């Protein structure tokens, strides 16, 4: 016990002698794990049986709740067992930018919000291919900070858009 008290007094004496640097701002409560990352809401990462016309939703971390720029990227991975290992064979399908002012946490790529810019082959598609892995990525930039995240999902086989009957 006495040794611990002496060590504490020594540490306090050393700290008192280090007055050349002003103290930093008070430390607030620690942020929860993962709070600095973008989180997939819909479709969830590695989800299966996802609609072939998904609406993408994500949650931005607290430090980027009012982003200056948000972009979205979608690519087809294919039939691989593990989509993480097949990213080299991805085929880009869509890129959306200009989302920050109009829809910073959601995108329906088949009906993008007015003001967003959507490019890529997806613009000519009615739905995604069935039973296929897809890779989606969201990037957000705020004042002096940025975050990004990558997610994967697999579509179901059934059509999302009914085919007209003859």
Give strand pairing partners of 97: 117
- pLDDT at position 150, please? 97
The 8-class DSSP code of residue 37 comes to S
- pLDDT at position 164, please? 63
Q: Is residue 31 a part of any domain in this protein?
A: no
Angle among Cα 60, 64, 65 to the nearest 5 degrees reads 70
Q: Is residue 104 a part of any domain in this protein?
A: yes
Q: Is residue 9 a part of any domain in this protein?
A: no
- Report d(CA 6, CA 13) in Å as an integer: 10
Q: What is the pTM of this model?
A: 0.76
- pLDDT at position 144, please? 86
Q: Which residues of the chain have pLDDT under 70?
A: 1-35, 161-166
Q: Is residue 10 a part of any domain in this protein?
A: no
Question: What is the number of structural domains in the chain?
Answer: 1
Q: Is residue 2 a part of any domain in this protein?
A: no
How remote is the C-alpha of 107 from its chain's centroid?
12
- Mean pLDDT of all residues in the chain? 84
Q: Is residue 35 a part of any domain in this protein?
A: no
CATH of the domain at 75: 2.60.40
Q: Is residue 92 a part of any domain in this protein?
A: yes
- Report d(CA 110, CA 128) in Å as an integer: 10
Question: CB–CB of 90/80 below 8 Å?
Answer: no
Q: Tell me which residue of 147, 143, 94 sits closest to 122, measured CA to CA.
A: 94
pLDDT digits (tens, 9 = 90+) for 65-92: 899 999 999 999 999 999 999 988 999 9
Range of the domain at 63: 45-155
Q: Is residue 32 a part of any domain in this protein?
A: no
Long-range contacts, stretch 36-44, CB < 8 angstroms, 24+ apart? 36/61, 36/63, 36/147, 37/61, 37/147, 37/149, 38/138, 38/140, 38/147, 38/148, 38/149, 39/149, 40/149, 40/151, 41/105, 43/151, 43/153, 44/151, 44/153
Structure tokens at 1: 């016990």
């Amino acid at each position: 016990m006495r040794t611990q008290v002496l060590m504490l007094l020594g540490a306090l004496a050393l700290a008192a002698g280090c007055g050349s640097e002003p103290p930093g701002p008070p430390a607030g409560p620690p942020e929860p794990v993962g709070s600095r990352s973008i989180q997939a809401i819909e479709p969830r990462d590695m989800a299966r049986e996802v609609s072939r016309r998904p609406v993408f939703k994500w949650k931005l971390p607290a430090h980027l709740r009012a982003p200056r720029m948000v972009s979205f990227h979608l690519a087809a991975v294919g039939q691989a067992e593990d989509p993480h290992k097949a990213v080299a064979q991805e085929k880009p399908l869509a890129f959306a930018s200009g989302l920050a002012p109009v829809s910073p946490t959601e995108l329906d790529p088949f009906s993008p919000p007015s003001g967003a810019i959507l490019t890529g082959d997806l613009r000519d598609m009615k739905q995604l291919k069935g039973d296929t892995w897809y890779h989606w990525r969201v990037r957000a930039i705020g004042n002096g900070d940025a975050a990004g995240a990558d997610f994967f999902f697999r579509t179901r086989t059934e059509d999302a858009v009914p085919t007209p009957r003859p």
